[in-house]
Structures are given as structure tokens and as C-alpha cells.
Structure 1
Amino acid sequence: MTDFLEIYKPLLIYVAIVIATVVVLYFITRFIYQWLLKKEEAKFPGEKSTSLKLLKTVLNTLWLVLGIIALSFIFVEEESYGELKADFKLALYLGFLAVITIVTAATTNLWFKRSIREKIKQNQDPTSLKFLRYVAVFSICFIGILFGLLAFPSLKGVAQTALGGAGVIAIIAGVASQEALSNLIGGIFIISFKPFKINDIIQITDTLVGTVTDITLRHTIIRSFENKMIVIPNSVINKERLINYNLGELKNCKFVEMGISYDSDVALAKKIMQEECEKHPLILDNRSELDKKDGKPIVKTALTIINDSTMTIRAWAWSKSFVDSFELQCDVNETIKARFDTNGIDLAYPTRTIIIEKDTE
């Protein structure tokens, strides 16, 4: 046993130093992780990021890989030392490159988040900052990957071409699909021409209405009034004809329509609809000064359609916003129906008269 220790004493000391170094680095990484958590909370209060956990995992993996490579020196011949040194340098380079990329991307992302929050507090439009946040983080990660490719001789030419400038577009065009590119360009068009922005209420179809919550490089996210998150690719939403209720004037005109039977009193029905709309607290007086001078009513009513079994009466009810107009319509539908029942005005329903002819001799 003594002879064994005397022979292998240098190797055992080397192994102990390597293991101790890995353990020390592990605890240093843990200490730095806890310190960075406190710093992040102090500098970016309320912002939680998973990047620190990823950074901790990368560093611990790096120390483990470097330790394994360092221990491999005792198991190989001296002729292979050059290859192990090259592997050690490669792992060290890739590890620190990953750390720098993660730290830069995370810091940039948190800075944008804080700026967006400040914009929202000041009632300013944060759409451009939200989109630029995705662009900045994507660019940092993309450049980090390219510098990682430079470490591999077989991929060095591809990375150098991409870093040259024109190669970036060529690589994206070659790797990405046409649909992905159209979504990216669609997102740029949305940010540039602003057909809508964050927190706008838009209507894409008769049934799809909601609030824009986010615009990314690929898609736009809309929260419907049923609290469903709807993800629409930018290339699709750019082709749709949409209604933006926050673009320009916010006031909105809602058509309140009732179909009454032929036996009902049209004049009375118009009067009831006008009175119920005008006394609603959300009604907006949209008359001009000339209209007021001429004595025109706040809510206009008219017989618009005569169908096979109904007569449609419409009331033009104005409100301050789309949300108010929807609430107004729901309320007056109920009150108008109640007054119609009281005053003997029947809501129409389809009727058919069937005549049966009986043959007689």
C-alpha cells in the first residue's frame, strides 16, 4: 500500500486538486447566483427571469466538463495531450461564450421590459419597444451562435460568411421557410405602419373581437372578451380586413334593431326605442350644434327594412367607445323588449299560411 501511494502520489494529488477545484467553482457559482438574484431584484423589481437559472446550469456543466477533460490527462498517452488541450480550450471558449450571450440577452430583455412598463405608466404606446425587444434578444443569440460556429473548422466558413453581412440574409432565406419569412416581414410592417398597436381593440371577423396584447416576430396575440388568447400569424393578419376601434375617434355608433310584426304600431315602437336609448347613462349626444338648434333627437330611429313577416326598426345609438356600445346594446335590448310587451308590440316571428285544396267530384 505504501509503495502504491509513493508511486501514484503525484497523480493522486493531481486528481484531488482537480476535484477540489471543481467543487470550489461549484460553490462560487452558487454564491454568485444568489448574489445576482438580489441584484436583479433591486435593479429590476418585479421582473423575474429564468436566465439566471440557465446561467447557473451552464457554468456548473462547464466546470464538470473541464474537470473530466483535466482528469483524462492521466489516462492517455503524452501524444494525445495536444488533442485534450484543444478540447479543453474549446470547452472553455464555448462555455464563456454561452455565459456572455446569456448575460447580454437577459440584461437587454430586462431593460426593455422595464422601459415598456414605464411607457405603460405614462400612457404611451409600448408596441415598438415590445417588438424591438424580440429583435434585440434574437440578434444577440444569433450572433452568439455564429461565434460558436467559428470554433469548429468545418463550420467556420459558414459563420464567417454570415458575419460578413450579406450572408445573414442568405442563411435565413435558405433555412427558414417562406411562411416564416412572411411572418417576420408582416411583423415589421405592423410595427412600421401601425394598423394597430398594443391594447387596441380590433375585430378581424364577425366573431373574432379582442384586445391586442403582444406583437412578436412571428405572430400577434389577441385576448378575446372570453379571455381566450388567440395567436394569429403576422402574415395572416396582414391580409385580413380588420376594424380597429381605437384608431382615430373612439366614439362608436351601435345599431339597435328590432323586428316587429305587421300588426304593431310603428310610430309607438320608434318612440319606445328612442326613449330607452336616450335615457341610458352610456348614451353619447353626437348631434352637431345645428342639429340641436333644429331640435333633432339624440337617437335617430327609422323603419329600415320590410321583410316577408317582419318590419325592422333601427335606432342609431352613439357611445364613447366600443365597450360602452356593447354594454348599451345589451341593456336597451332588455328594456325595449319589456316596454314592447307592456304596450302590445309583438316581436315578429316567421309565419306561413298553408292552404289545402280538397278535390271534389
Structure 2
Amino acid sequence: MGEFFETYRPQLIYALIVVLSVLLLRFLTNLLYKWLLKQELKKYPNEKPKAVNWVKRILNALWLVLGVIALSSLIVNEDKYDILKHNFKLILYLGILSIVTIVGAASANLWFRVSINRKIQNAEDPTSFKFLRYIAVFGIYITGILFALLAFPSLEGIAKTALGGAGVIALIAGVASQEALSNLVGGVFIISFKPFIIGDIIKVTDTMVGTVVDITLRHTVIRNFENKMIVIPNAIINKEKLVNYNLGELKICERIEIGVAYDSNIDLAKKIMQEEAQKHPLILDNRSPTDILNGNPVVRVSVTSLNDSSVTIRAWAWARNYSEAFDMRCELLEAIKKRFDNEGIEIPFPYRTVVLKKEKETHKNHDAGQTAE
């Protein structure tokens, strides 16, 4: 045994140094992790330390893999030593690059999130910052991947071309689908021309109405009034003719339309609708000084159409914003219906006369019998 140790003494010392180095590096990594975790929780108590956890895992795995490669040099042939050395440098490079990329992306993401929260607290528009956050994080990860490709000779040309400038667009265009590019361009157009921003209430279709909560590189997220999230690709929403209830003035003219029977008192029906609308607490007096001087009513009521079985009466009622307009409309429809019932104003519904086939044949036979007589 003593002869064995004496013979392989340099190798055993080398192996011991490698093992102790790996253990020491893992110990220092855990100490660094605890310190970074403590600092991050202290500075950002509401943020989850995902980046710190990933850095810890990558570093611990990196030290272990490098240690295994270093120990493997004791048992490989000299002609393979250069390959082993190359693999050691490659893994070290990829490991450090991964850590730098993750830390850079996490730092950019955290900075944008803090800036967005600050803008929200100051009642400012955070839309641009939210969109730029996705671009910054995406760009950092893409750059990290391209630098990783530089480590592989067969992919080095692609990486250099992409990092050269205009090649980035060509690379993305080559690997991405047309739909993905359309969504990306659509998101850029939305942020640039601002047809809507975060917090706006928009109407894309009759079934897609809600508040914009996020605009990403691919899609726009809307929270409807059932508290459900509607995800619409940017390429689609960029082509739609949508209604933005927060663009420009917030006040809205709500049209209350009700059909009454032809034999009902039209003047009384108009008076009821006007009275109920004008006394509603959410009604907005949108009259100009000239209208007030001329004695025009707060709520205008007129007959708008003569239908097959009803006369349509419309009231133009103004509200301060979309939410109040919706509440006002629902409450006015109920109040007007109750007044109509009390005042004898009929709201007609379609009548249909059904003729049974058997009864029709009986009439034909009866008519034929009378003709024969």
C-alpha cells in the first residue's frame, strides 16, 4: 500500500486538490447564494428570487462537471488530453455565459418591473415600459445564445453574421414563422401608434369587451367584465376596427331604445323615458350653453323607426364613462319597463298564426264536398 501511494503520489495529490476545490467552490457558491437571497428579499420583498436560484444551480453543476473533467485527465491517454482540455474550456465558457445571460436578463426585467410599478403609482402610462421589458429580456437571451454559438466552429459563421447587425433580422426571419413575425410587428405598431394603452377599455367585437392588462411581443391580453382573460394575437387585433372608450373624451352617449305598440300613447311613452333618464343619478348634462339657453332637455327622446309591430323610441342619455353608461343603461331599462306597465304602455312581441296540416286538409275536403253538391 505504501508503495502504491509513493508511486501515484502526484496523481493522488492532484485528485485531492480537485475534490477539495470542488467542495470549496460549492461551499462558497452556497454562501454567495444565501447572501444574494438575503439582499434581494431585503430590497425587493415582493419578488421571487428565480434568477438567484438558477445561478446557484448552474454554478454547483458547473463545479461538479469541471471537477469530473479534471479528474478524467488522470485516466485518459495523452493524445486525448487536448480534447479534454478543450471540453473543459468549452463548458467553463458556456457556464459563465449562462450565468451572465441570466443575471443580465433578470436585472433588466427587475428594473423594468420596478419602473412600471413606479409609473402606475404616479398615475402614468406604463404601456411602453411593459413592451420594452419583453424586448430587452428577449434581446439579452438571444444575444447570449448567439455568443454560445460562437463556441461551436460549425455554427460560428451564423453567430458572427447575426451579431454583425442586420443579420439579426435575417436570422429571425429565417427561423420564425410568418405569423410570429406578424404578431411582433403588430405589437410594435400598437406601442408606436398607441390605438390603446394599458388600462384602456376597448371593444374588439360584441363578445370581446374589456380592460387591456398587458401587451406582449405576441399578443394583447384583455380582462373582460366576467374577470376572464382574453388573449388576442397582435396581428389580429392590429387589423380589427375596435372601439376605445378611453381614447379622447371619456363621456359616452348611451342610446336607450324601446319598441312600443302602435295603439300605445307615443307622447306618454316619450315622456316616461325622458323623466326616468333625467332623474337617474348617473346622467350627465352634455348640453351646450346654446342648448340650455334654447331650453333643450337634458335627455332627447324621439321616434326613430316604424316597424312591423312596434314603434321604436330612442333616448340619448349621456354618462361620464363606459362603466357608468353600462350601469345606467341596465337600470333605465328596468325603470322604464316598470313605468310602462303602470301607465299601460305595451311593449309588443311577435304574433304568429300556426295552421296545422291536418286541419288544412279537412277544410279542403269540406270545400270539395260543397262544390260537388
TM-score by length of 1: 0.95
Q: Determine the structure 1 residue equivalent to 2:35.
A: 35
Deviates more, 1:241-250 or 1:139-148: 139-148
Matching of residues 77-88 of structure 1 within 5 Å: 77-88=77-88
Q: Is the 8 A contact 2:255 2:317 kept in 1?
A: yes
Take 2:353 and 2:340, find their aligned partners in 1: how far apart are those partners? 25
Aligned residue number for residue 119 of structure 2: 119
The 2-side partners of 1:256 and 1:207 are apart by 20
Distance 1:346 1:243 in 2: 34
Q: Deviations over 1:16-57 (max 9, x none)?
A: 332222222222222212211222233334233422222222
SS state of the match for residue 85, structure 1?
helix
TM-aligned CA deviation for residue 9 of structure 1: 4.1
Helix, strand or coil: the match of 2:205? coil
Alignment of 1:318 with 2:318, yes or no, is yes
- Alignment match, 1:190: 190
Counterpart amino acid of residue 258 in structure 2? M
Checking the alignment, whether the CA contact within 8 Å between 1:257 and 1:312 is kept in structure 2 is yes
Letter in 2 for 1:327: D
Cα separation, 1, equivalents of 2:184 and 2:38: 36
Distance across 1 between alignment mates of 2:15 and 2:157 = 39
> Do the aligned partners of 1:26 and 1:60 also contact (CA within 8 Å) in 2?
yes
Q: Deviation per CA, 1:136-166, whole angstroms, max 9, x where unpaired? A: 1111111111111111111111111111112
Paired with 2:265 and 2:52, the residues of 1 have a C-alpha distance of 73
The ranges of structure 1 where at least 4 consecutive aligned residues each deviate by more than 6 angstroms after the TM superposition are 354-357
Q: Deviations over 1:229-273 (max 9, x none)?
A: 111111111110000000000000111111222222211111111
- Tell me how far apart the structure 2 counterparts of residues 47 and 41 of structure 1 sit (CA, whole Å): 7
| CA drift at 1:11 | 3.2
Tell me the secondary structure at the aligned position of residue 298 of structure 2.
Answer: coil
* Equivalent in the alignment of 1:206: 206
Paired residues for 1:1-361 under 5 Å = 1-353=1-353, 358=363, 359=367, 360-361=370-371
In the alignment, the residues of structure 1 paired with residue 222 and residue 233 of structure 2 have an alpha-carbon distance, to the nearest angstrom, of: 11
Q: Is the 8 A contact 2:69 2:88 kept in 1?
A: yes
Amino acid at match of 1:281: P
Q: Amino acid of the residue matched to residue 121 of structure 1?
A: Q
Moved more, 294-303 or 257-266: 257-266
CA RMSD of aligned residues (A): 1.7
| 1:134–1:217 CA contact under 8 A, matched in 2 | yes
Contact in 2 for aligned 1:94/1:148 (Cα 8 Å)? yes
Q: Distance in 1 between matches of 2:104 and 2:353?
A: 78
Q: Note the C-alpha offset of 1:353.
A: 4.9
Structure 2, unaligned runs of 5 or more: none
Shift in Å, 1:7: 3.6
Amino acid at match of 2:243: I
The question of whether the paired residues in 1 share the 8 Å contact of 2:37 and 2:49 is answered with: no
CA distance in 1: counterparts of 2:258 and 2:195, whole angstroms: 34
User: More displaced, 165-174 or 316-325?
Assistant: 165-174
Q: How many residues align?
A: 361
CA distances 1:55-89 after superposition (whole Å, capped 9, x unpaired): 22211221121111111112201222211111111
Aligned residue type for 2:123: N
1:346 Cα shift? 1.8
Shift of 1:339: 1.3
2:205 counterpart letter in structure 1 = T
Distance 1:249 1:346 in 2: 37
C-alpha distance in 1 between matches for 2:61 and 2:263: 84
| SS of structure 2 residue aligned to 1:313 | strand
CA distance in 1 between counterparts of 2:112 and 2:99 reads: 20
Larger Rg belongs to? 2
Is 257-266 or 98-107 further displaced after alignment? Answer: 257-266
* SS of match in other structure, 1:97: helix
